[in-house]
């Protein structure tokens, strides 16, 4: 666990440093993609602003609705001050923020394809901070299990000294692979917005299954809160993927026409 980073007289929170580096990397990739596609304009900058603001709000407030009984939930002010910094909440907030920014600015173009590789790389970097500061995962007998100090918050396995799944390393690997694949797909998926759909679909499925080895609390039927959030989300995404498949949005890289001949 490395909760703080000392640079001379400065003491910086490691998690915040890597989140900041992730946001910086995502912004650079976004601008690079926008330039490549000839989409650098006021509207794209407004979309970035909406994503940053919405993501920050979503990440901080995502822990508000932790209980079905609203009386057990914290106030919005408490959720903002002591928020859980949920990545899923941040992504949802960023998406809503972009939609609102585009509506306010009167922009109707698709921006998701610019965000997809940017978000993947930003997430990979940001998760390094999570790996260094948070409970890694559930106990495992696999040879690559990691150990964390007993003082690690929300980590029962840390107290017993058990080896645990390096769940954040799994996600870093997934996000880096997604970034590479998205760069490969960007010239093969020509329908606007579909690159973003494919990224969201793949991450939703990955996140659902990686939750089985993360340290998050199970709340019902052996599933965690993120998994219950993801179940209906995956169903909606599956319908959306089916719609795109039937309309031939993915034929270029699936080579469906060649397979049918």
The C-alpha atoms of residue 79 and residue 22 are separated, in whole angstroms, by 23
Q: How far is CA 47 from the centre of its chain?
A: 18
In a domain, 12, yes or no: yes
Task: Give the residue, 17 or 45, on which the prediction is more confident.
Answer: 17
In a domain, 95, yes or no: yes
In a domain, 39, yes or no: yes
pLDDT digit string, tens, across residues 46-94: 666 777 677 667 666 655 555 444 455 555 454 444 445 566 666 777 7
- Interacting residues of 115 by C-beta distance below 8 A, sequence separation 6+: 30, 47, 51, 98, 196
In a domain, 148, yes or no: yes
| Adjacent-strand bridge partners of 13 | 4
In a domain, 23, yes or no: yes
Sign of CA dihedral 43, 187, 246, 238: negative
Residue-level pLDDT at 148: 78
By residue range, what is the domain housing residue 106? 7-189
User: What are 201's two structure tokens?
Assistant: 């679909």
pTM listed for this prediction: 0.79
pLDDT band at 212 (very low <50, low <70, confident <90, very high): very high
User: What are 80's two structure tokens?
Assistant: 């903002």
In a domain, 212, yes or no: no
In a domain, 254, yes or no: no
Total domains in the chain come to 1
pLDDT digit string, tens, across residues 105-116: 676 666 677 788
Q: How far is CA 151 from the centre of its chain?
A: 27
In a domain, 228, yes or no: no
User: Which residues in 153-224 belong to E strands, given as ranges?
Assistant: 218-220, 223-224
Task: Give the residue, 90 or 257, on which the prediction is more confident.
Answer: 90
pLDDT digit string, tens, across residues 127-138: 898 888 888 888
């Amino acid at each position: 666990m490395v909760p703080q980073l000392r640079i001379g007289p400065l003491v910086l929170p490691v998690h915040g440093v890597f989140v900041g580096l992730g946001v910086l990397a995502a912004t650079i990739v976004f601008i690079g993609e926008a330039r490549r596609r000839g989409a650098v304009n006021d509207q794209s900058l407004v979309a970035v602003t909406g994503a940053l603001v919405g993501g920050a709000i979503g990440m901080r407030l995502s822990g508000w609705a932790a209980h079905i009984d609203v009386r057990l939930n914290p106030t919005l002010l408490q959720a903002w001050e002591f928020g859980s910094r949920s990545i899923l909440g941040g992504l949802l907030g960023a998406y809503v923020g972009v939609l609102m920014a585009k509506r306010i600015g009167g922009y109707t173009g698709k921006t998701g394809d610019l965000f997809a590789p940017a978000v993947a790389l930003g997430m990979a970097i940001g998760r390094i901070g999570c790996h260094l500061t948070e409970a890694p995962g559930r106990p495992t007998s696999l040879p690559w299990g990691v150990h964390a100090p007993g003082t690690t918050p929300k980590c029962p396995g840390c107290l017993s000294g058990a080896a645990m799944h390096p769940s954040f390393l799994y996600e870093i690997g997934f996000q880096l692979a997604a970034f590479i694949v998205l760069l490969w797909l960007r010239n093969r998926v020509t329908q606007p917005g579909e690159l973003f759909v494919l990224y969201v679909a793949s991450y939703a499925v990955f996140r659902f299954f990686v939750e089985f080895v993360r340290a998050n609390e199970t709340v019902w039927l052996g599933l965690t809160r993120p998994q219950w959030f993801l179940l209906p989300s995956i169903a909606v995404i599956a319908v959306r993927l089916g719609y795109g498949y039937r309309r031939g949005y993915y034929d270029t890289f699936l080579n469906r026409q060649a397979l049918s001949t």
